[in-house]
Chains A and B, each alone.
Chain A
Amino acid sequence: MNAQGFKRLALAAILAVAILAPLGLKNYGVYLLSLWALYAIAAQGLNLTLGYAGQISLAQAAFFGIGAYISALATTAGMSFWLALPLAGLACFIIGALIGFPALRVQHHYLAFVTLGFNVLVFLVLRNEEWLTGGTYGVANIPRPALFGLSLGGPLAFYYLCLALLVLMTAMFWHIVRSPWGRAFAALRDNPERAASLGISIVTYTLLAFAIGSAAAGIAGAAFAPLVEYIDPTPFTLSLSLAFLLMVVVGGQGTLTGPFIGAALVTLLPEWLRWTEGYYLMVYALAVMVLMVVCPSGLTGLFDMARRRWERSP
């Protein structure tokens, strides 16, 4: 089987598992799956910024948070979720483009620090501006939406909403990376100087990469708010941004399936490692270190290596 066919098969398998997985699960299990779907959307966004366009960002949790707050504040004030969702995406698109400006001046580690700084600043604003965000008290009673009169309030129904969002967003990313934009992103990542000499605008595409990646986090966050029904600033710290980065790199940056696997590891692994009691984060951290030493291209890279070896053997 060629690589393309393998990729399609992998995506189809993931979708099939994702549709069937919640049947027979208790509410908590369904909640975890919903969380996985939303994390995967945000990770897809970061994957575009980082994996395809080569710009590191440690502010993904900030956009996830901005999206969540916009949706929470808008829907508790009576706005429809179906309006709040694109609004959150649009707001994050614009703020993401602004955050992209530093990337035009500085690269790599500097950019990591600027975005990291932005994430902490957003957290401080969420915590301190009580008049707007409710501060540490947060926003409660966030309603879950209905679609054509059909309530999506139940855990299972809401999970399928999250999954539908994930499928839509994945289709969008699939289209983008295969479009001329995707080619321009890849060219910029490989060699910005040469790309510019061929007429590719570094400014436009860098800002676009940030804006699209951030918008994805905003949309995921907008659905996160009704999922948990109560938000305060605590989930949106730097740790979550680091977790998103882990999802992308551990899953395999620059691949379409990588973020799914990465997000699954971050949300589900702690549950599977329950038997290790308090040790799971240590086991997890250790596994990440070993993976980075052995195969820096992440798990999909590891699968590729295994597949090629398997194909070569008679």
Chain B
Amino acid sequence: MSDIVQLFVSGISTGAIYALAAMGFTLLWQTTGTINFAQGEFVMLPAFIMLAAMNLLDVGLLSAFVISLVVSMVLLGAAFKRALVDPMAHHGVLPLIIATIALGIFMKEAVKTFYSAEAQPFAAFAPEGAMRIGPVSVSIENIAVLAVAVVAILALQLFLQRTFAGRCMQAVAQNRESARILGVPVERMVLYTFLINAALATLAALLVTPTYLAKFDNGESLGLIAFIAAIVGGFNQMRGALAGGLLIGLIDNFTAVYISTQYRHAIPLILLIVVILFRPQGLFGRAEERRL
């Protein structure tokens, strides 16, 4: 029983991290039709920016996080939009897919060449150890990760639903042209989504890296998981990405223990294929009117 609770908590906490990456991914898709194949690297890079800040400037983890947040929002948010997405706005989906694949390779190689090819230890922001709640014990780190992720997700939801800018962003996501006619500053809102994506990725980096260590190729599996979470949950809705992330996190943890570790990574993929074939709008997404 205690095992299952522990597994559940750790599953939800990993899932919350996946959800952060998946939600950013969904935001970009909704507002600009960008399928970011470099999303995993968008999580990998901020971890190294934090490491670099801590090593070179000799600052603490929190300051390093803030520095990384700013740098990421400039590089992975604004610059990514300006230099790559904007010029390709009318080229169709495929060239941009190729460009983000190339961007991912570029980021990986840059980190490998200029920082290190070896996995780097990364300080956890929460103390190790377990906490007893009644009869079960759960890891403090898991709880802390979960708490931070939940706060971030709630803040994002509040921003999207309660603030004027947030509602404008949703309007842009749903229908860009109508939003423009209604006087929404579409370009600025799109920029916001790129900034938010970068921020979510940086936060995900802070939460995920202590477990996996910082390595240049971390993004490969993380990016894949973010896709899967976004699609399984429902590509057209933020809460779909959230639910998808949590689900994949749980599946990941439970299959590792109860099913073979060899095919651990296969389960989310099979889920992905089944969902795409039989429920393309995602488990939690809205169905769109389908033609024959």
Contact = CB atoms under 8 A, between A and B. Distances in A.
B101 A245 contact: yes
Contacts of A164: none
Contacts of A253: 94
B94 A114 contact: no
Interface in B213-235: 220, 224, 227-228, 231
Given A278-B113, A289-B102, A113 B95 contact: no
Given A249-B94, A282-B113, A292-B95, A112 B84 contact: no
Interface stretch (A4-12, A88-96, A115-123, A213-221): A115-123
Interface stretch (A21-29, A38-46, A79-87, A102-110): A102-110
B101 A242 contact: yes
Residue from the set B92, B97, B102 with the largest chain A CB neighbour count within 10 Å = B102
A108 B266 contact: no
A117 B271 CA distance: 10
Given A120-B265, A282-B113, A293-B99, A110 B231 contact: yes
A299 interface: no
B289 to A, nearest CB: 15
Given A110-B231, A124-B266, A285 B95 contact: no
A197 B273 CA distance: 30
Interface string B78-110: 000001100110011111111101110110011
A151 interface: no
Contacts of B276: 102, 105-106, 110, 113-114
Given A109-B35, A120-B224, A282-B110, A292 B231 contact: no
Residue from the set A50, A238, A249, A253 with the largest chain B CB neighbour count within 10 Å = A249
A113 B231 contact: yes
Interface in A48-76: 50, 56
A14 interface: no
Contacts of B269: 117, 120-121
A114 B87 CA distance: 28
Instruction: State the majority secondary structure of interface residues on A.
Output: helix
A282 B95 CA distance: 18
Interface string A241-273: 010011001100100000000000000000000
Contacts of B109: 278-279, 281-282, 285
Contacts, number: 113
A50 B94 CA distance: 10
B140 to A, nearest CB: 34
Given A102-B277, A113-B272, A113-B276, A285 B84 contact: no
A288 interface: yes
Contact of A128 (B224, B228, B263): B263
Contacts of A292: 88, 91, 95-96, 98-99, 102
A228 interface: no
Contacts of A278: 109, 112-113
Instruction: State the majority secondary structure of interface residues on B.
Output: helix
Nearest to B278: A105
A243 to B, nearest CB: 9
A286 interface: yes
A296 interface: yes
Given A246-B98, A249-B94, A292-B95, A124 B231 contact: no
Contacts of B88: 292-293, 296
A242 B98 CA distance: 8
B280 interface: yes
B101 A293 contact: no
B263 A118 contact: no
Contacts of B2: none
Interface of A: 50, 56, 101-102, 105-106, 108-110, 112-114, 116-118, 120-121, 124, 127-128, 238, 242, 245-246, 249-250, 253, 278-279, 281-282, 284-286, 288-289, 292-293, 296
